[in-house]
Amino acid sequence: MAKNSKRGGSGAYIFAAILIAIMYLINTFLVESIYWSNTEASTRTSTAMNSLNKINGELSEINKDSIGIAAGIKTDMSIITQDTARHYANIIDAEHAFESIEGLSDTARHRYEYAKAIIDTYKQRLDAMGTGTVAAGDFVEMGYILKQDIYPLQVTASEMLTSTIDVVGTDIGKIMAKNQIKSYVLMSFMMLVAILGELAVWLFARRAKKAKLELEEREKSLAEVDAKLKTTRQKASDLAVINVLTGMKNRYALDNDISDRLESGRFQIAVFDMDNFRSINDTYGYDFGDEYLAAVAEKLKEEFSEVAEIYNITGNEFCFVFNKNISESQAMGIAQNIQRVMSSPFEVLNLAVQLPCSGAVYHYLPGDCLNVNSLLVKLDTAMRNAKMNGGNMISTVMNI
């Protein structure tokens, strides 16, 4: 009986060890699968967005050259022809890079193919104009053709490329969401492993210390795998909190950064945006408007990043969360400087652009708002009142 009992106990230890080893391998496989899936998705998204942005940028450069010719600013046709050929070669390289990406959705590919067809048509029209109107030296006619025929093609192609970028971003968001669900399932599975391990320890600890020590080592390994998984998830979540155009933190980042401060914190916060910004897009196009916003954002980071955390929360609206050592009066003084900078002339694509701007400043007190949404509603309401009163001014949110 003693021998049978000993054999039965040894068999139980072996079974427990095998069971834990299998679970560990499964967890390791799942963690690696999620990690490589996130890495592959991030790489694919980066390549796709870089390719599409490159196409968009080269197309804008070609359009700038065309506008320069029509305006009589650029006259050396041989240099312009060489530049245009180089830009188109870069576009083709970027197209090849995008088309080599696997796993893109049908929607993204369809929008890209539509943009590519428009670009081909744009090139054909531009080439035809180059052999006709430009050769004849009729820059007035060329300007008319650019405005009525060719430039709308470039704007449409740019919009479709931007739309493709949005679709790719949405697709990667879905992939990351699926991987996050997988990670939650994995964590639940790991919890189950831990429970089973503890049960094994409880059952067999009285018979063998060795089995207990092996189980604790496996639990330590599982904890390390869990830490790696959390790190991977953090890297994936970072992709969702940056505005691609301005490089600033976005609305989601603002929510993450200040939500915990609303109940007990006291701080200075302000929002600003340009008055009648739509006129820029309507007059010069969305690409021009994006360049303008990028220039404004770069200037704001240069001037005010040391006194405030800056967010590009929507379109041309910027939010400033001032440092803790900034008083209410200092915040108002800085806000006036922000308005001055944003209202200053900016040179965009060889054009000087200047718009007035309005803003709102809030001396936030603990418990004033339940969440970030209600805080922004107060600020936006105050800023909207400033705009209704003629704009180009700073309003103050009153504490209730």
The answer, yes or no, to whether residue 113 has pLDDT greater than 80, is yes
The 10s digit of each residue's pLDDT in 127-158 is 776 544 444 455 555 556 666 666 777 777 77
Residues 234 and 144 in one domain: yes
Domain boundary among 205, 240, 275: 240
Q: Quick one: average pLDDT of 304-315?
A: 95
Which of 19-33, 81-95, 218-232, 313-327 holds the top average pLDDT?
313-327
Any idea of the CA torsion for 283, 287, 288, 293, to the nearest 10 degrees? 120
Residue 203 has what pLDDT?
Answer: 65
Residue 377 has what pLDDT?
Answer: 95
Phi then psi for 394, rounded to 5 degrees? -115, 130
Residues 305 and 227 in one domain: no
The answer, yes or no, to whether residue 71 has pLDDT greater than 60, is no
Give the whole-angstrom CA distance, residue 187 versus residue 181. Answer: 10
Name the band, by pLDDT with cuts 50, 70 and 90, for residue 115.
confident
Residues 219 and 305 in one domain: no
Whole-structure pTM value: 0.44
> Residue 73: helix, strand or coil by DSSP?
coil
Residue 215's nearest CA partner among 206, 224, 205 is: 205
Give me the domain span that covers residue 176: 1-240
Residues 162 and 285 in one domain: no
The answer, yes or no, to whether residue 201 has pLDDT greater than 60, is no
Residue 47 has what pLDDT?
Answer: 83
Q: Quick one: average pLDDT of 308-323?
A: 95
DSSP string, 287-329: HHHHHHHHHHHHHHHHHHTTTEEEEEEETTEEEEEE-TT--HH
In the chain, the amino acid numbered 199 is L
Top-confidence residue, 129 or 272:
272
Residues 234 and 255 in one domain: no
How many residues appear in the chain?
400
Contact, 65 vs 142, CB < 8 A? Answer: no
Domain boundary among 216, 240, 264: 240
Q: Quick one: average pLDDT of 374-378?
A: 95
The answer, yes or no, to whether residue 8 has pLDDT greater than 70, is no
Tokens of 314: 């929507």
Top-confidence residue, 327 or 209:
327
Give the whole-angstrom CA distance, residue 52 versus residue 49. Answer: 5
In the chain, the amino acid numbered 92 is I
Can you give the C-alpha Rg of the chain in angstroms?
A: 30
DSSP classification of residue 392:
S
The answer to whether residue 223 is domain-embedded is yes
Residues 6 and 147 in one domain: yes
Residue 251 has what pLDDT?
Answer: 93
Which range, of 28-37, 81-90, 116-125, 299-308, averages the lowest pLDDT?
28-37
Residues 220 and 292 in one domain: no
Which range, of 2-6, 165-169, 228-232, 307-311, averages the lowest pLDDT?
2-6
Q: Please list, in sequence order, all residues whose beta carbon lies within 8 angstroms of the beta carbon of residue 291, skipping any fewer than 6 positions away.
A: 348, 349
Residues 71 and 161 in one domain: yes
